[in-house]
Amino acid sequence: MNIKSTHLKLKYKNLEKLAKDDLKISHLMKAESDRLENFVLREGPLRADFSKQLVSQKTLKSLKEFAAACNLEEWRAKLFAGEKINDSENRAVLHMALRDIGGSDSVKENVRSMRKRMEKFANNIRAEGKFNSIVHIGIGGSDLGPRLVADAFRATADIKFDLRFAENIDGASINDALDGLNPKKTLIIVVSKSFTTQETHMNAEAAFKWLESELGVNAGKHLVAVTANRQGAIDFKVPEEQIFDFWDWVGGRYSVWSSVGLSLQIAFGPSLFGEFLKGASKMDLHFRDQPLHENLPVMMAIIGIWNRNFLNYSSLAVIPYSRNIRKLPAFLQQLEMESNGKQINREGVYTGITCPIIWGDQGTNGQHAFFQWLHQGTPGAPVDFIAVLKDSSGRPEHHAALLANCFAQSEALMLGKSKEQVLQEIGDGFKSDIIAQQKTFPGNRPSTTITLDNLTPYSLGHLIALYEHKVFVQGVIWNINSFDQWGVELGKVLASNILQEMQTGTEGKHDASTSKLIELFVNSMKNS
């Protein structure tokens, strides 16, 4: 990490020294009798158990001191005060204001009136009975959050609409979303903060044509836009009264709480959405008001820093043992990697190692795919296990098996299995020594287990806000701006140039490999 101040450097060096200690999680668990007291934090329905991390109490104390010395409290105060901490874009970062925390009076007023408008609109659509389907078109932050929440409650809440999503520019995405729907009964909601995103534009155009083919001049009545670029939506011919704004101080990946959640409001009703906001809001208060040493997002962030910067793990696996939130790894991929996947700090200098790769899949599916690597591969990865204690499937015996698997995996990662244990099991025989070696589990692999008492809109709000604030804390420690995303721009520009070349048949200047790929495509078009 690129650190200027001497006292911070000393703290960092001390942590590097601690990382060289040859510790075993299982020994720490036995030796530190108060380990659970110090490594478990709870807020409402969410309990996070960090005790299976490769962190001693001594290290934890040093990590907390290091985080505090990064001026974390000052940055947290700036965040909640609405200072323009997204300095490369000269914007405040106020997604918490969407949950009624922080923001100036005028921000609060804007949020309140937008929420009222959304609720009224949602209630009208629900009452009218004119629509039976909703197609939500958007990508990245304009897709992942609403999709995660929709999937979380599809099976358990009272959903009145066939709610579908189209995100990819691949024509298969909008085809799937519209398949079998009746344009007369379908509401299309186009969600794009910028209203310039290529994928969303093409999908929206396709959907509009689909509406027009059946409804003619009335197609616009079935079109709604959610955007921070009102003019862009007007130019797209969305009726003004069907445009829902949000603001530049809401980052795309932090926007599910805004009018971006309109499709959720309509499909599930405003009260579910309200509970979702309340859950997040309670986590905001926890993050804002709890001292650093008892603060859930801070704890999660410093453990992540420890694993990334000191134990050199380059990835973090997120495994929800809840099919209903199987989209969580994809959501967190954007939240964490688009926020902190950077290498230049706030002073424009290389900052060193930052955000790990975030990846994962639902448990137990992952167990039959990549868990082999987690247990015996090199070097493995820390895991966030997420489990919901209360069953919502109506099949308690499945639920018990699901959670048994979750708890067993974290135990197995920690304990491993020695060669001696294996030899005892397999006994002396053909190639027993080699086989025993292969059947050995190194163990000592770190994990956190987060449990939600129940999967409710409130607890999901808690969980997402926890990760949001964790990302903020890590950004402060790495001294980067977590709220811009310049890294996505270059590819967009090149794609638009290449598309133009393909369409006009002009030859651009490219490397040999790219030129050949373009040529292959152009030829395949000629032959089709």
> Total number of residues binding ligand F6P (CB under 6 A)?
14
Q: Based on the shown chain and the rule CB under 6 A, indicate whether residue 204 belongs to the binding site for ligand F6P.
A: no
Strand segments (E) across 35-159: 40-43, 46-49, 133-137
Residue 419, token pair as written in the block: 């060669």
Q: Which of 401, 404, 488, 495 binds ligand F6P (CB under 6 A)?
A: 488
Q: Cα(161)–Cα(79) distance, rounded to whole angstroms? A: 37
Is 469 noted as a catalytic residue in this protein?
A: no
Which is catalytic among the residues 84, 120, 492, 516? 492
> Measuring CA to CA, which residue among 480, 477, 482 is closest to residue 69?
477
Give 493 or 512: the residue with its C-beta nearer to ligand F6P. 493
Q: Which of 88, 194, 437, 500 binds ligand F6P (CB under 6 A)?
A: 194
Residue 105, token pair as written in the block: 């009076």
Q: Based on the shown chain and the rule CB under 6 A, indicate whether residue 140 belongs to the binding site for ligand F6P.
A: yes
Q: In whole angstroms, how close is the CB of 139 to ligand F6P at the nearest point?
A: 5
Q: Based on the shown chain and the rule CB under 6 A, indicate whether residue 304 belongs to the binding site for ligand F6P.
A: no
Q: In whole angstroms, how close is the CB of 306 to ligand F6P at the nearest point?
A: 28
Q: In whole angstroms, how close is the CB of 464 to ligand F6P at the nearest point?
A: 15
Q: Based on the shown chain and the rule CB under 6 A, indicate whether residue 200 belongs to the binding site for ligand F6P.
A: yes
Q: Which amino acid is at 93?
A: V
Exposure letters 12-27 (e unless 16+ CB within 10 A, then b): beebeebbeeebebee
Q: Cα(359)–Cα(488) distance, rounded to whole angstroms? A: 19
Is 24 noted as a catalytic residue in this protein?
A: no
Q: Based on the shown chain and the rule CB under 6 A, indicate whether residue 271 belongs to the binding site for ligand F6P.
A: no
Q: Beta-carbon neighbour count of residue 380 at 10 Å?
A: 19
Q: Which of 64, 115, 222, 253 binds ligand F6P (CB under 6 A)?
A: 253
Q: Are 49 and 40 spatial neighbours (Cβ–Cβ below 8 Å)?
A: yes
Is 4 noted as a catalytic residue in this protein?
A: no
Q: Cα(528)–Cα(133) distance, rounded to whole angstroms? A: 35
Tell me which stretch binds ligand F6P (CB under 6 A): 9-17, 189-197, 313-321, 453-461. 189-197
Q: Which of 45, 183, 252, 446 binds ligand F6P (CB under 6 A)?
A: 252
Q: Based on the shown chain and the rule CB under 6 A, indicate whether residue 461 belongs to the binding site for ligand F6P.
A: no
Give 1 or 250: the residue with its C-beta nearer to ligand F6P. 250
**Helix (H), strand (E), coil (C) string for 429-457:** CCCHHHHHHHCCECCCCCEEEEEECCCCH
Site string for ligand F6P, 337-356 (x = CB under 6 A): -x------------------
Q: In whole angstroms, how close is the CB of 199 to ligand F6P at the nearest point?
A: 8
Q: Based on the shown chain and the rule CB under 6 A, indicate whether residue 141 belongs to the binding site for ligand F6P.
A: yes
Cis preceding-peptide flag for 379 (omega within 30 of 0): yes
Q: In whole angstroms, how close is the CB of 198 to ligand F6P at the nearest point?
A: 9
Give 139 or 243: the residue with its C-beta nearer to ligand F6P. 139
**Helix (H), strand (E), coil (C) string for 177-234:** HHCCCCHHHEEEEEECCCCCCHHHHHHHHHHHHHHHHHHHHHHHHHEEEEECCHHHHH
The DSSP secondary-structure symbol of 158 reads -
Binding site for ligand F6P (CB under 6 A): 139-142, 192-194, 197, 200, 252-253, 338, 485, 488
Which are the catalytic amino acids?
Answer: 338, 368, 492
